[in-house]
Amino acid sequence: MLNIIIFGPPGSGKGTQSAKIVEKYHLKHISTGDLLRDEMKRQTKLGKEIAKYIDNGMLVPDDIVIRELQHTVKKNCDRSGFVFDGFPRTLNQAEMLDNMLICNEMPVNIVISVDVREDELLKRLLGRAEDSGRSDDNEEVIWKRIEVYKSQSLPLVSYYSNQGKLVRINGMDPVEKVFEKITLAIDTYLLNKEVLVEVN
């Protein structure tokens, strides 16, 4: 199996790059944000509970997120690997993923951290807000999401770099250029089992 985490602040291009990665390497894309939003759209009791968090830019509790994730993983054990997009978001979630045995063992092979400056994040998300229809794409909630990323998700950078799995990618470039850098990191891993520290 090849399991990749695509990590980065809101607006760093995780979803866009994940779609390209799964196409090239024939992996299954799992976006926990999409799973949660689907649940919201169905207006179930759970969906309404989830909306309370998402609409305020807060993280949905681990047990809900993990349940959504496990359900989708379980249905896709026949795939050659996953791209986790927007998950894990907390140290607790990362530890749970490390211990997950749904498709036998599911080691995380490589964690791609996409770095983008804050002013650029805001610009991109406000641009997206015009047609995303997302309840959390408005300036107030965007700032909250960036803040939550810094306080709750950023510790994952040292968690994965201590495991020798983290590669930092400069995500300020256009989509195709960022993707080239990502493929360089993945191909280097596939060929040499080596995780590059940084691709600029």
Among 1, 4, 11, 15, binds Mg ion (CB under 5 A): 15
Out of 20, 28, 37, 145, pick the active-site residue. Answer: 145
Q: Which does 29 bind (CB under 5 to 8 A by kind): ligand C5P, Mg ion, none?
A: none
- Residues contacting residue 6 through CB under 8 Å, at least 6 positions apart: 14, 17, 18, 21, 83, 84, 85, 112, 114
Which parts of 103-122 interact with ligand C5P (CB under 6 A)?
Answer: none
Q: Note whether 145 binds ligand C5P by CB under 6 A.
A: yes
Q: Annotated catalytic, 145?
A: yes
Closer residue to Mg ion in complex, CB, 86/195 = 86
Classify 165 as helix, strand or coil: coil
Please give the Cα distance from 10 to 2 (Å, whole number): 24
Residue 157: CB minimum distance to Mg ion, A? 18
Please give the Cα distance from 3 to 173 (Å, whole number): 25
Find the distance separating the first CA and the last CA of the chain, reported in whole Å: 27
Which parts of 28-47 interact with Mg ion (CB under 5 A)?
Answer: 33
Q: Note whether 89 binds ligand C5P by CB under 6 A.
A: yes
- Residues contacting residue 190 through CB under 8 Å, at least 6 positions apart: 2
Among 2, 19, 59, 102, binds ligand C5P (CB under 6 A): 59
Residues that bind Mg ion (CB under 5 A): 15, 33
